[in-house]
Amino acid sequence: MLQFILRRISISMVVLLMGSALMFFATINSGDPLADLRESRSENREQLIQARIDNMNLDMPWWQRYLSWLSGASKCLVLSCDLGQASNGANINTMLVNAAGASLRLVSISVVLAIIIGITLGVLSAIRQYSGFDYAITFLAFLFFSLPVFWAAVLLKDFGAIRFNNWIADPALSTTAMAVVALIFALLVASVLGGDIRRQALTFLVTGAVVFGAVFAFDQVGWWRRPALGLPLILVGALLALAFFLTLTVGLSQRKIVVAGLVTVAAGLVAYFVTAPIMVDPSGWLVIVGLLAATVVVSGAIGWFFGGFERKLSMFVTIGTGVAFGFLVFMDRLLRNWGAFLETKPRPISTIGSGIPEFEGTFWAEIFDWGVQLILPTIVLTLISIAGYSRYTRASMLETINQDYIRTARSKGLSDRVVYTKHALRNALIPITTIVAFDFASLLGGAVITESIFGWRGLGAMFRAGLDAVDPGPVMAYYLVAGGAAVIMNMLADIAYAFLDPRIRR
């Protein structure tokens, strides 16, 4: 396995080297880097031209300029990059760090959301093959896959930013809007849960009534500007999380694991009151990470103590339930500070930029400033990726559940839950790992358009500025990140193959 990975790394390095030479040559021959200065009537025009020549090494042959860049870029292997200067004299290392931080934040969140949502929808579509839910997901997948990025981004800027900011100033929902929201949720839940016509109709009516009542109550109390989950909703959410993890593992057959999950919820209830003073305004993310680590340790200990002979499964259930409880508490505190953030920024979602420059506020207000600008570009990139993940997962899952070993598992009397989660899903995920690897790198390329529309100063803006100035420095810095991401993600895909299918290790 190690020899295979080293061989793949060597081949990838050769590909990166050849690609970098082609990219460098194409960039420097795409125009005249001194064109704007040649047309200038400034008195110090000659000095400006000479300064740019010195910054970009234009007095050297192209291959010497490339070797000079390659020499500095090769130092990245020892974490000491020297990518030179841009045409304006700016340090490209600093430019790359600032730009990569914005772009990787956007792309990473988009990939994670697309993987979770896309694979979930694909699995459900395969299980409910040729149902109304399957047809609906298929239609939406093809719709999202066909969406032009720039058009979807412009629509989101209009509806998700401009119109939302107008609405949040004095939020109110009409009865028709409430009914539409309830109808959408009712159709979704009834389709996912499935069953016969009677069961689906009952699920539709109950879900619609509950959602309509909840939205009506929220509208009456002004929840849109002063939101909160509250302890009752946190407990309900934690119990639903417990039910989810039990469904994935043992169901209700193992009473000890069920008790362990309920004890975890009770421990979370106690921790809610104990940590309340800390959560009012934490001093930083280190506190949140510390509380998360404590949650994992305590939840795992509960699972180990009550698990009996199934300690591993019990710890999985209790840790998952504990983390879900902690996430709900975190979201409750975050939502309680939404009103204060609106007072600081009455129009919360900007159409341009990744945050308010030099914004200062509480820990929760800084999260809102950091997060609300991510919503729209993240939605654009996520929707496009979800389409591919859902279709590939559906096809892979259908192929897997028709294999002989799946029929053997069913003939043994195993439940559908065990067959799908333990036998089918793991093998169906093997081809998906390749898509994940390439999707991360391709999203970096797609983010160029998205960042341009939303005014993010990320890798896309740096890449475009380098092309406009016929400056290979920023362009090659972008290539270094995108190409490096492709190599690293492919290596991770190879390792994931070996984890999902032990036969590959040999």
Close Cβ partners of 161 (under 8 Å, ≥ 6 residues apart): 349, 350, 351, 376
| DSSP symbol at 356 | -
Q: Looking at residues 119-141, what average pLDDT do you find?
A: 86
Beta-carbon contacts of 360 under 8 Å, excluding residues fewer than 6 positions away, are none
Q: Is the dihedral of CA 23, 29, 34, 35 positive or negative?
A: negative
Identify whether 386 is part of a domain.
no
For residue 355, the model assigns a pLDDT of: 60
> Per the domain annotation, does 43 fall within a domain?
yes
| Residue 326 pLDDT | 95
pLDDT digits (tens, 9 = 90+) for 393-418: 999 899 888 888 888 888 888 777 77
Report CA 83 to chain centroid distance, whole Å.
29
According to the model, what pLDDT value does residue 434 have? Answer: 75
Q: Phi then psi for 389, rounded to 5 degrees?
A: -60, -45
pLDDT value for 283: 81
How many angstroms separate the Cα of 486 from the Cα of each of 114, 222, 346, 435? 18, 47, 41, 11
Q: At CB < 8 A and 24+ separation, what contacts does 500-503 make?
A: 500/426, 500/427, 500/429, 500/430, 500/433, 501/427, 501/430
pLDDT attached to residue 178: 93
Q: What is the pLDDT of residue 353?
A: 67
Amino acid in the structure at residue 432:
I
Region of 455 (left: φ > 0; alpha: ψ -120 to 50; beta: rest) is: left
- Mean pLDDT across the stretch 116-128? 88
pLDDT of residue 4: 66
Question: What is the average per-residue pLDDT within 466-483?
Answer: 87
Residue 234: the pLDDT is 95
Decide which of 183, 204, 221 is a domain's last residue: 221
> What's the mean pLDDT in 370-374?
82
pLDDT for the residue 502: 62
CA 290 → CA 223, 275, 282, 286, distances in Å?
31, 12, 11, 6
**Structural domain contains residue 12:** yes
pLDDT of residue 150: 82
Residue 481, domain member (yes or no):
yes
Q: Residue 157 class from Cβ within 10 Å (0-12 exposed, 13-18 middle, 19+ buried)?
A: buried
pLDDT reported for residue 333: 93
What mean pLDDT do residues 205-233 have? 92
- What integer pLDDT is reported at residue 325 of this predicted model? 96
Q: Pick the last residue of a domain from 180, 206, 221.
A: 221
**Residue 359 backbone class (left: φ over 0; alpha: ψ -120 to 50; beta: rest):** beta
What's the rounded Cα separation, in Å, for the pair 443 and 431? Answer: 19
Task: Name the residue range of residue 216's domain.
Answer: 172-221
- Going by C-alpha positions, the residue among 358, 333, 367, 360 that lies closest to residue 344 is 360
> 243 or 37, which is more confident?
243
Lowest mean pLDDT among 26-30, 192-196, 303-307: 192-196
For 354, list phi and psi in degrees, rounded to 5: -105, 10
Classify the C-alpha dihedral 382-384-390-395 as positive or negative. negative
Segment among 293-297, 302-306, 344-348 with least mean pLDDT: 344-348
Residue 277 lies in a domain: no
Mean pLDDT of 304-325: 90
- Is 53 part of a structural domain of the chain? yes
Average pLDDT score, the chain? 85
| Closest among 443, 437, 464, 424 to 149, alpha carbons compared | 443
How much is the pLDDT for 100?
A: 81
- Whose tokens are 């949650």? That residue is 295
Q: What are phi and psi of 432, to 5 degrees?
A: -70, -30
pLDDT score at 504: 59
In percent, how much of the chain has pLDDT > 90?
24
Cα distances (angstroms) measured from residue 234 to each of 241, 282, 322, 329: 10, 20, 12, 7
Residue 501 has pLDDT above 70, yes or no: no
What's the farthest any 2 CA atoms get from each other in the chain? Answer: 88
Q: Of how many residues is the chain composed?
A: 506
pLDDT at 263: 95
Inter-axis angle of helices 430-454 and 459-468, nearest 10: 60
CB-based burial label for 321 (10 Å; 0-12, 13-18, 19+): buried
Look up the pTM and report it: 0.80
User: Does residue 480 lie within any of the structural domains?
Assistant: yes
**Average pLDDT rounded to a whole number, residues 222-235:** 91
Residue 297 — very low, low, confident or very high, per pLDDT cuts 50/70/90?
very high
98-117 average pLDDT score: 84
Residue 447 pLDDT: 67
What DSSP line would sit under 47-59, residue for residue?
HHHHHHHHHHTTT
CA 445 centroid distance within chain: 16
What pLDDT was estimated at residue 503? 61
Structural domain tally of the chain? 2
**Residue 313: CA count within 13 A, CB half-sphere:** 19
* Position 506 pLDDT exceeds 80: no
Is residue 124's pLDDT more than 80? Answer: yes
Q: What is the pLDDT of residues 236-288, one digit of tens each?
A: 999 999 998 888 777 777 888 999 999 999 999 999 999 999 988 888 889 99
What pLDDT, on the 0 to 100 scale, is given for residue 266?
A: 95
DSSP annotation of 195 reads -
Distance CA 78, CA 401 (A): 47
Please give the Cα distance from 373 to 354 (Å, whole number): 5
CA distance 427 to 340: 48
Token output for 113: 């959301």
The percent of residues above 70 in pLDDT, for the chain, comes to 94
Q: Is residue 203 part of a domain?
A: yes
Q: Kindly state the tokens that stand for 462.
A: 């740096």
Task: Select the highest-mean-pLDDT range: 2-11, 383-392, 481-490.
Answer: 383-392
